[in-house]
Structure 1
Amino acid sequence: MSTSTVTAPSGPAVAPARTAAPARLRTATAFTAAAALLAVVAAAHLTQGTSAVGALDLLRLLTGAEDPGTADATRVLVSSRLPRLLTGAAVGVALGFAGAALQSVARNTLASPDTLAVNAGAHLAIVAVAAAGISLPVLSAGGLAFGGGLAAAAFVMAISAGGRAGTTRLILAGSATMLALSALTTLLLLLFEQATTGLFAWGHGSLVLGDLTAFSQLAPVIAGAAAALVLLGRRLDILALGDDTAAVLGVHVRRVRLGATLLAVLLCAAAVTLAGPVGFAGLVAPAVVRLLGPLLPGLQAHRVLLPLSGLTGVLIVLGADVLLRAALGGQAGVDVPTGVVTTILGAVLLVWLARRHRDAGPTRRPPGGHAAVRSRAFHLTVVGVCAVLAVAAPALGMLAGDTWVLGGDVVNWLQGRTGPAYTFVLDQRFPRVAAALLAGAALAVAGTTVQAVCRNPLAEPGMLGITAGAGVGAVTLLTFVPLAGVWVMTGVAGAAALLTFALVYGLAWHGGLDSDRLVLIGIGVSAGCAAVTTFVVVVFDPYNTAKALTWLSGSTYGRTAEQVAPVAVALAVLVPLIAAARRHLDLLTLDDDTPRVLGVRLEPARLLALGAAAVLTSTAVSAVGVISFVGLVAPHAARALVGGRHARVLPVAALLGAILVSLADTAGRTVIAPAQVPAGLVTAMIGTPYFVWLLWRSRFASTRAR
């Protein structure tokens, strides 16, 4: 065996020697080009700001020329521009290294600090401490962020089978976890608004710093973790060959994977501590470097990939900052988080990668494929019980709140015989209860339709960009035309939702509609829409972030009967149409061929069904804001109760959605009264465990199938 290992023909041994020099030359050229571009971007970055100090002033300072403005230039450079530049560089290096390492560990090109919810976990940890009124030193805050990010990453990797069971599973698991952690973070920002002042913009990645204190303490941490990852480079190269091969070659697979993950999370925590969550920089940087692999084969080695990803990360973060201030002026660098720009860039890249990727993981199975077959009597019993609960839930909503009333008071109010105090309370409460009930039903029907058309049991309107698109339209209208009427709000939200849906559907169409591609593109578009919403708020209405947070968290606060009317109209018109197409939905869940054989025009049926879902979602968003997971939880629970036929699923799902949002709204208004928790945050915290359980169950199902 040893002889066969040592002996080799002399010819092939010489070929690598002849090709090694050009490969090294091309790698050195790539580093040189990146360094030169970085120097240009850094120089441009230093010339931008809110002061009058420009490039000529800095040039005179650099040459040592005596000038009356030299002192001002020095002060501006040291107190503002240099800290911002160095912070951006440190964050870029940290996220570039971390993204490359996480992609290698997960063996998934879409793994990143964002898609693994590392940034969300670190962000929640820091906001929780701020909400408690505790001020921590920089390193202590970094340690806390490290713990939060590590817990989130471990959780996502566990329920997505380490990221190797499929790209869609990884992104869905990370998105669900990120949504739940973001819901908790938003709740803290709303409940402790004074203690967390300024954290809304920082929570989207801001490079505004007053000095170099944080940088000087965290820079050694970032440098040490990056160097340790480079030292692991050889083992990561071998690990890329597969676990079995790596083990045969003497690599301790679990130890290397754990070490690389810990170092990557440490880098993410340092970046979040410095500047907040800078969205998608950790996805874009290594993805750009990997795309150059066919041109520069030497880049696939981790000792080259990791440093070049770090350099690319710096270029992305500083380049986004330069682009922001060049387009909108120096003040925009203060008002608009840099992470908004990087998130938009990352969303575009995620969509592009999703268009090129075809994932056939275990999430791709017909919804209801494993649902139990129920008898007609059982089905009628379930419908009856749900109907009773759908009446009891709003009845409880009318009684509960910061002021509790009795059933007799409600009866007197209906008859117009209550006093002014109870009349005022119940007049304000009734539209909120009605909005929650109707919006829940609309979102549940929309979710049932989306899952059927996409043939993906983990899809919902929020993950197809429909909800985020409607949110962009509604928040933009609230910001620029705060006195706009209800029907105008509904029209704008609906148009934005339909445009977003058309964009997602058009991008997902690539020689046919692939459900995984549709979901991945929807998640990317949702992230982009969220960044646009943040941009609108912080630029045009920065002193009213609570309004945007409340809207984006899904709240019935201040609703009127007029605002509820569009949801009722949409339900009255579209639900009968969807119910009439219930057999088409049953066929669409199977495959593409069966509907065609049975005479169903596939694409028109898909478009009409998803269009109806988009309208239902947009009217619900215009009434109660952004509420997540209802369109996921209600259809699944309905299928578990009555089976997979849509004739049975649709009514039960509608009733369950109405019950869920109604109870969430009542709980949010009652538990910590007089303060309130938006209904969307409650449903996110209820829906996320259910979503995780679905992923975990499908994980074991896929394991048994293999």
Structure 2
Amino acid sequence: MAVTATVPATGRTAVTTRTGAVAVTALLVLLVAALAVVDITQGTAAVGAPEVWKALTGRAGPGDASVVVASRLPRAAAGLLVGTALGIAGAALQAVSRNVLAAPDTLAVNAGSYLALGLLTVTGVSLPLLASSGVAFAGALAAAAVVLSLSGLAAGTVRLVLAGSAVTLGLSSVTDALLLLFPERTNGLYQWNQGSIAQNGFDGVLQMTPVALAGLAGLLLMARRMDALALGDETARGLGVPVRGTRITVVVCASLLAAAAVTLAGPVGFVGLCAPALVRPLARRMRPFVRTRAALPVAGLTGAGLVLGADVLLRLLVSAQSAVAVPTGVVTSLLGALFLVGMAARVRDTGTAGTAERGRLVGRTTFLVTVAVLVAVLAGVMVAGVLLGDTKLLLGDVVNWAGGMAGQSVGFVLDTRVPRVLAALLAGGALALSGTLVQAVTRNPLAEPGILGVSGGGALGAVLFVTTAPMAGSWGIAGAAFAGAGVAAAVVFGLAARGGFGQNRLVLVGIGVQAAATALIGLLIVITDPFNATKALTWLSGSTYGRTLTDTLPVAGALAVGLVIAVFRRTELDLVSLDEDTPRLLGLRTAPARFGLLAVSVVLSATAVAAAGTIGFVGLVAPHAARALVGRRHTRVIPVAVMLGAVLVCVADLIGRTVIAPAQLGAGLMTAVIGTPYFLYLLVRTRR
């Protein structure tokens, strides 16, 4: 049944709007063509516009012709194909979900493709590029299915992007683990993940073009049904449109387009989010662009312009040699992260932070028993962490080491292992306390330093300091991490506070800041030699490898001071976590209280990052588990949450360095495996 979502304009107005739409489309085509022309004149070789023209007309020398035909033209063609595919995929996903934040990035489509190709690389199986795109498509489709099934497709909600971001974190953690475990087989995969349109010949473009065309053809065939979905599910059903089947088909076609782009150039971030957003103002002024059949090609042209424009801008701002090392995807990710933050500040927040979740009443005896059990578990985990590893020890070895009577081999093992255990315990406790403070102040059950971008800002500060000062000490790294975390926190909490710390807005702004920090970290890793990819990934995965007792001093001091402040201000925490009016009625100045507690949270998060790298979800899981065990009073939640966080990180570190010994995985990767399902569970529960 032929269905349309809009009634076309009539008479002179219809002609005018149709003419305007044609003119806008023509201008976009000219703009993209101009960017492509400029792009093929840029590069490291001394081949400018005259030489390019000679190469195109067959009058250039062999060297210049080879540069143009084998490198620059394929690069421009890849930019056109990747941008077009991602722009169309994003427009289709946003149309079918009626969600302006839906895109291949935010629905974990790119992360699913990346993991699938990473698994293929690790197995050592060599497949043609076309077959590799099939593997990427399977990963993309599986990731999108998980996100859509967990989040739902309600119009106007931002839960879709929150679920997608959580799944992205989990999938990326698994991929990072593969990079660390198989560095020889995955050599270059990290750089590829940043998204580069550089090509060596036209083979890749020619093989991926039919795949992208197949996805586009499928979407164009579904265009009228997508127009009907824009009117609402009930209206679409009344018009005879199979709503569920249409959504599934559109997601499959969009995933096919995204898989083609990822296979060719790696994940080029946020093009699928930004391109449709730039087209929407045109649709409000020109009715032809309201129709999906017209909007999809325009979104594709806009996406192509974004990718080529980012590549041209990069080569204009930095030298040709430096531009080679900087992937185009880093530029688009930075621009997209800023775009996401801006959109998050304007999106209507359907989840408020008005009242904290209610917890069950717990007696004093239950609290004391819980504390006693946790103390015993914590002691057992500490002992296990010291004794177990690639070399197993006995308690007698530890006693001899403490008394200075251990042998050289045992002494070496314990000299390296004890600081690791302490770093894991202290970092876990600091992150748990940080999460407790943030959740209380914002009254947001989804708030956590890692999800809110604070840990990402701290990691960026630390990586930047290490790359510029390779011999930096622990206090210098801690200071740099604090500076980065402070900037990230100021952006996140400053923007979220304007909307009353709305539940979804706060997390969404944090995701944007985290994306920007991740892009900048990737840039630093790719372009610097002292901080190579393997070393960086080891640190960013939350590893305690190589830590010394000196490295634990900043986080130990921050945790001690933070505990004193939190316990001393436990009544304020109880009040601000209730609602907005109760503290004011009791004479509490909420603004200074919030600022002070958030500052403590930032210090705790930054020092934890400096001590143990980036470890996510601990600040989310530990406070929730503590409230479930001992109720909502912070005089009880604080010690229980700190011990739970310490146990969680220490166990994660122990598993990471013993299960596949002598190889090791960072504690952050293990906590991500635990935290991602828990975050998704909270997301589903808070939607009810």
TM-score by length of 1: 0.94
Partner residue in 2 for 1:418: 406
Partner residue in 1 for 2:339: 349
Partner residue in 1 for 2:449: 461
Which residue identity is paired with 1:55? A
Q: How far has the Cα of 1:435 moved from its partner?
A: 0.2
Partner residue in 1 for 2:206: 216
Partner residue in 1 for 2:4: none
Instruction: Specify the SS of the correspondent of 1:331.
Output: helix
Moved more, 305-314 or 169-178: 169-178
| 2:392 paired with 1:387 | no
Partner residue in 2 for 1:600: 588
| 2:63 paired with 1:72 | yes
Q: How far has the Cα of 1:235 moved from its partner?
A: 1.1
What is the CA–CA distance in structure 1 between the aligned matches of 2:583 and 2:651, rounded to whole Å? 38
| 2:396 paired with 1:396 | no
Q: Flag the 1:52–1:543 CA change in 2: closer, same or farther, 3 A.
A: farther
Partner residue in 2 for 1:86: 77
Partner residue in 2 for 1:117: 108
| 2:470 paired with 1:482 | yes
Q: Flag the 1:542–1:342 CA change in 2: closer, same or farther, 3 A.
A: farther
Q: Flag the 1:15–1:109 CA change in 2: closer, same or farther, 3 A.
A: closer
Partner residue in 1 for 2:498: 510
2:233 to 243, 260, 272: 243
Runs of 4+ residues deviating >6 angstroms: none
Q: Flag the 1:408–1:165 CA change in 2: closer, same or farther, 3 A.
A: farther
Instruction: Specify the SS of the correspondent of 1:461.
Output: coil
Q: Give the 5 Å matches for 1:93-242.
A: 93-162=84-153, 164=155, 166-167=157-158, 169-242=159-232
Instruction: Specify the SS of the correspondent of 1:464.
Output: coil
Moved more, 285-294 or 156-165: 156-165
What is the CA–CA distance in structure 1 between the aligned matches of 2:285 and 2:603, rounded to whole Å? 46
Alpha-carbon deviations, 1:349-403, whole Å to 9, x = none? 1011111112123x75644x24222111111111111111111111100000110
What is the CA–CA distance in structure 1 between the aligned matches of 2:571 and 2:226, rounded to whole Å? 51
Instruction: Specify the SS of the correspondent of 1:241.
Output: coil
Contact 2:223 2:293 in 1 (8 A): yes
Partner residue in 2 for 1:30: 24
Instruction: Specify the SS of the correspondent of 1:208.
Output: coil
Q: Give the 5 Å matches for 1:432-471.
A: 432-471=420-459
Moved more, 15-24 or 414-423: 15-24
Which residue identity is paired with 1:448? T
Q: How far has the Cα of 1:172 moved from its partner?
A: 1.9
How many residues align structurally? 682
What is the CA–CA distance in structure 1 between the aligned matches of 2:307 and 2:9, rounded to whole Å? 40
Partner residue in 2 for 1:9: none
Partner residue in 2 for 1:18: 12
1:318 to 288, 305, 308: 308
| 2:564 paired with 1:567 | no
Partner residue in 2 for 1:7: none
Q: How far has the Cα of 1:14 moved from its partner?
A: 11
Contact 2:122 2:186 in 1 (8 A): yes
Which residue identity is paired with 2:89? A
Alpha-carbon deviations, 1:537-576, whole Å to 9, x = none? 1112387111111111110000000000001100111221
| 2:38 paired with 1:48 | no
2:546 to 549, 553, 558: 558
Q: Give the 5 Å matches for 1:627-706.
A: 627-699=615-687, 702=688
Which residue identity is paired with 1:147? A
Alpha-carbon deviations, 1:251-283, whole Å to 9, x = none? 111111111111001111111111111111111
Which residue identity is paired with 2:539? W
Q: Flag the 1:690–1:574 CA change in 2: closer, same or farther, 3 A.
A: same
Percent same amino acid at aligned positions? 52
Q: How far has the Cα of 1:344 moved from its partner?
A: 0.4
Moved more, 538-547 or 224-233: 538-547
Q: Give the 5 Å matches for 1:514-593.
A: 514-541=502-529, 544-593=532-581
Instruction: Specify the SS of the correspondent of 1:462.
Output: coil
What is the CA–CA distance in structure 2 between the aligned matches of 1:555 and 1:441, rounded to whole Å? 16
Q: How far has the Cα of 1:58 moved from its partner?
A: 1.4
| 2:59 paired with 1:59 | no
Alpha-carbon deviations, 1:47-77, whole Å to 9, x = none? 011111111111234455x4xx433322111
Partner residue in 2 for 1:5: none
Instruction: Specify the SS of the correspondent of 1:22.
Output: helix
Contact 2:353 2:502 in 1 (8 A): no
Partner residue in 2 for 1:610: 598
Instruction: Specify the SS of the correspondent of 1:684.
Output: helix
Contact 1:470 1:496 in 2 (8 A): yes
Q: How far has the Cα of 1:164 moved from its partner?
A: 4.2
1:265 to 255, 261, 273: 255
Q: How far has the Cα of 1:413 moved from its partner?
A: 1.2
Contact 1:282 1:313 in 2 (8 A): yes
Q: How far has the Cα of 1:295 moved from its partner?
A: 3.2
Q: Flag the 1:254–1:448 CA change in 2: closer, same or farther, 3 A.
A: same
What is the CA–CA distance in structure 2 between the aligned matches of 1:657 and 1:294, rounded to whole Å? 50
What is the CA–CA distance in structure 2 between the aligned matches of 1:319 and 1:602, rounded to whole Å? 46
Which residue identity is paired with 2:94? Q
What is the CA–CA distance in structure 1 between the aligned matches of 2:569 and 2:52, rounded to whole Å? 68
Q: Flag the 1:511–1:557 CA change in 2: closer, same or farther, 3 A.
A: closer
Kindly report the root-mean-square deviation, in angstroms, between the aligned alpha carbons of the 2 structures: 1.7
Contact 2:419 2:552 in 1 (8 A): yes
Instruction: Specify the SS of the correspondent of 1:43.
Output: helix
Q: Can you give the 5+ residue segments of structure 1 that lack an aligned partner in the other structure?
A: 1-12
Q: Flag the 1:365–1:159 CA change in 2: closer, same or farther, 3 A.
A: farther
What is the CA–CA distance in structure 2 between the aligned matches of 1:371 and 1:308, rounded to whole Å? 51
What is the CA–CA distance in structure 1 between the aligned matches of 2:608 and 2:426, rounded to whole Å? 8
Moved more, 451-460 or 656-665: 451-460
What is the CA–CA distance in structure 2 between the aligned matches of 1:380 and 1:101, rounded to whole Å? 55
Q: How far has the Cα of 1:511 moved from its partner?
A: 6.0
Moved more, 295-304 or 416-425: 295-304
Partner residue in 2 for 1:358: 348
Contact 2:432 2:641 in 1 (8 A): yes
What is the CA–CA distance in structure 1 between the aligned matches of 2:631 and 2:497, rounded to whole Å? 30
TM-score by length of 2: 0.96
Contact 1:202 1:276 in 2 (8 A): yes
Instruction: Specify the SS of the correspondent of 1:292.
Output: helix
Alpha-carbon deviations, 1:208-261, whole Å to 9, x = none? 221211211110110121122122211111111111100101111111111111
